[in-house]
Amino acid sequence: MPTPDHRLLNGIPVKTRIIDEVRDYTDRQDTMPRLVSILIGDVPEAAVYVRNQARSAKAAGLPFEQENWPGDITQETCKARLLEMNDDPTVLGIILQRPVPEHINVRSLQSAIHPLKDVEGMNPASIGNIVYSDVALAPCTAAASVELIKQTGLNMEGLEVVMIGHSEIVGKPAAMMLMAEGCTVTVCHHMTRSVPMHSRRADVVVVAVGKAHLVGPDMIKPGAAVIDIGINQIETEDGPKIVGDVDTDAVLDVAGWITPVPGGVGPVTVAILMRNAIVAHQRQIAAGWL
């Protein structure tokens, strides 16, 4: 058996730990309301995500229901159905799978999901609460990157973090969450004059851009941690392959820690979704909903 590479920051044990914590909670409940996953139209690329979520929910002791809504459903009908679920005490949380058909305004639908049922942390009100350092229902991928940085054991206070990518669902909320942990955060993006000038001084580089091999070893300070959120399909001699935004093999020679793709941020993201579900449960109880 080959020695494991300790520079690889594996997401699987982190996922297992979180799922076990959720299971401990659900085991102590008489009954748990269900998570509802919604697919609108025919979205084969979402199938693997849904399958993973269903599997993790089962392991965590959370009922999980998959709804498929027709591709020609109207925005109004979607919204009405979501509002019904907000009022339904048997629905614990709502997961709106993306992408949605072109005629659907996804952000408006996300806003229609009540913050207490917004287990994906996508409602603008949920994200506003992150600014107020109330990170309970945070966007799952952003929270997963924070969890993996903590896993290194680095002291978060004063940690120099450079985030590459300023998307609404990852870069910006992750930056806010890292600030709340005491990190000094710089957010770089496609208009930044020199991304390497920033990334080379960082203790931790978080990359969420969606470009294969964007980050090479010349951009990383020796010993730094690299969190790779990208998921890109590339063609190789052996057929298609999933890679992140980091040239993992080359950066391994420089970095202190690096999350592999697949097997790094991805598994932890699903686990955070389950953790959000029990936080939602506790909040709904506190609010007198359950």
Annotated binding site for NADP(+): 165-167, 231
Measured distance CA(117)–CA(106) in Å, rounded: 16
Paired tokens of 177:
């969450």
Give me the DSSP letters along 270-283: HHHHHHHHHHHHHH
Q: Where are the beta strands (DSSP E) in the chain?
A: 34-40, 64-69, 91-96, 160-164, 184-188, 204-207, 225-228, 232-236, 239-243, 257-258
Measured distance CA(89)–CA(123) in Å, rounded: 19
Q: Taken in order 201, 155, 142, 168, is the CA torsion positive or negative?
A: negative
Q: Kindly tell me which of 178 and 274 has the beta carbon lying closer to a copy of itself.
A: 178
Q: Kindly tell me which of 182 and 262 has the beta carbon lying closer to a copy of itself.
A: 182
Measured distance CA(143)–CA(126) in Å, rounded: 13
Using CB under 8 A as the criterion, what x/- string covers residues 133-172 for binding a copy of itself? x-----------------------xx-x-----x-x---x
Q: Kindly tell me which of 32 and 159 has the beta carbon lying closer to a copy of itself.
A: 159
Among 191, 239, 240, 249, binds a copy of itself (CB under 8 A): 191
Q: Any contact of residue 223 with a copy of itself (CB under 8 A)?
A: no
- Measured at the CA of 264, the angle between CA 57 and CA 1, to 5 degrees, comes to 105
Q: Any contact of residue 124 with a copy of itself (CB under 8 A)?
A: yes
Total site size for a copy of itself, rule CB under 8 A: 34
Candidate ranges 30-38, 86-94, 130-138, 272-280; the one touching a copy of itself (CB under 8 A): 130-138
Q: Any contact of residue 125 with a copy of itself (CB under 8 A)?
A: yes
Q: Any contact of residue 239 with a copy of itself (CB under 8 A)?
A: no
Minimum distance from residue 126 beta carbon to a copy of itself (Å): 7
- Contacts to a copy of itself by CB under 8 A: 107, 123-133, 157-158, 160, 166, 168, 172-173, 175-176, 179, 182-189, 191-193, 198
